[in-house]
């Protein structure tokens, strides 16, 4: 993640500066928005620095864009955008005249709120697993089958199948693939407590 502050010429015809932003000051933030840590750092920076933030990201348009907008970013641009377009957006942001996304802004912020709610729900479900069920789920996620898990844990395949059923029931999924996909959804953003390198989905990331 890289950020810089720019002082852009302010056009007096623009009708004033962006509310909450010092005259002519614009923040340019380049970030991947590809992990919970990156997302938290982005939202914290935007919230703490009252600038007209323009975010450029490699993330696809969707909930991650909504997270940046919800934190106060003025506009989010894809990393594929041309430099000239970035400069025009920075100039508009400094004047408070940029009006990106039209109705999509609310939709993007809404998609972020929905994602956060889903992540929190999944975290609660994963958190309800017993230590052994956590272990079995991690092994399933690593690609191990029932027989291999039984061998590694020194228990019978029947016991492993029983534990897998418990995992499926608690995660409210119908198959082992569904359980693996649910864990993938959490690990993709590092938002699942109880697994290495992750943090709680709601920690310091509330949409409000």
**Tens-digit pLDDT profile for residues 1-13:** 665 555 544 444 3
Count of positions (residues) in the chain: 208
Q: Report, at the CATH architecture level, how domain 120-187 is classified.
A: Orthogonal Bundle (1.10)
Q: Per-residue pLDDT for 16 more than 50?
A: no
DSSP SS3 for 191 = coil
Tens digit of each residue's pLDDT (9 = 90 or more) over 117-171: 888 888 888 889 999 999 999 999 999 999 999 999 999 999 999 999 999 999 9
CATH for 2-100 is 3.40.50.2300
What are the φ and ψ backbone dihedral angles of 23, each rounded to 5 degrees?
-55, 120
Q: What's the token pair of residue 45? A: 């920076």
Other Cβ atoms closer than 10 A to 20: 9
Distance CA 66, CA 81 (A): 18
List all residues 6 or more positions away from 67 whose beta carbon is below 8 Å from its beta carbon. Answer: 33, 39, 42, 43, 112, 205, 207
List all residues 6 or more positions away from 23 whose beta carbon is below 8 Å from its beta carbon. Answer: 10, 17
Residues 165/108, Cβ–Cβ less than 8 Å: no
**pLDDT confidence of residue 198:** 40
**pLDDT confidence of residue 43:** 93
pLDDT, mean of residues 45-60: 91
What's the number of CA atoms in the CB half-sphere (13 Å) around residue 52? 26
The domain segmentation of the chain, as residue ranges, is: 2-100, 120-187
DSSP SS3 for 30 = strand
Q: Per-residue pLDDT for 197 more than 60?
A: no
Which residue matches tokens 């909504």?
66
Burial of 143 per CB tally in 10 Å (0-12, 13-18, 19+): exposed
End-to-end CA distance of the chain: 24
């Amino acid at each position: 993640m890289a950020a810089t502050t720019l002082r852009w010429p302010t056009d007096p015809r623009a009708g004033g500066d962006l509310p909450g932003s010092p005259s002519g000051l614009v923040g340019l933030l380049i970030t991947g928005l590809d992990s919970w840590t990156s997302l938290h750092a982005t939202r914290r920076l935007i919230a703490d620095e009252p600038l007209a933030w323009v975010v450029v990201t490699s993330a696809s348009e969707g909930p991650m864009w909504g997270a940046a907008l919800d934190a106060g970013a003025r506009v989010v641009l894809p990393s594929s955008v041309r430099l000239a377009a970035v400069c025009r957006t920075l100039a508009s942001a400094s004047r408070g005249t940029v009006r990106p996304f039209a109705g999509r802004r609310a939709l993007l912020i809404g998609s972020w709120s929905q994602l956060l709610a889903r992540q929190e729900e999944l975290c609660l479900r994963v958190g309800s697993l017993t230590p052994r069920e956590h272990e079995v789920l991690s092994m399933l996620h690593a690609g191990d089958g029932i027989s291999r898990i039984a061998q590694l844990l020194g228990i019978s395949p029947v016991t492993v199948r029983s534990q897998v059923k418990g995992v499926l029931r608690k995660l409210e999924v119908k198959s082992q693939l569904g359980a693996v996909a649910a864990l993938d959804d959490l690990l993709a953003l590092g938002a699942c407590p109880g697994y290495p390198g992750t943090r709680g989905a709601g920690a310091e990331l509330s949409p409000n």
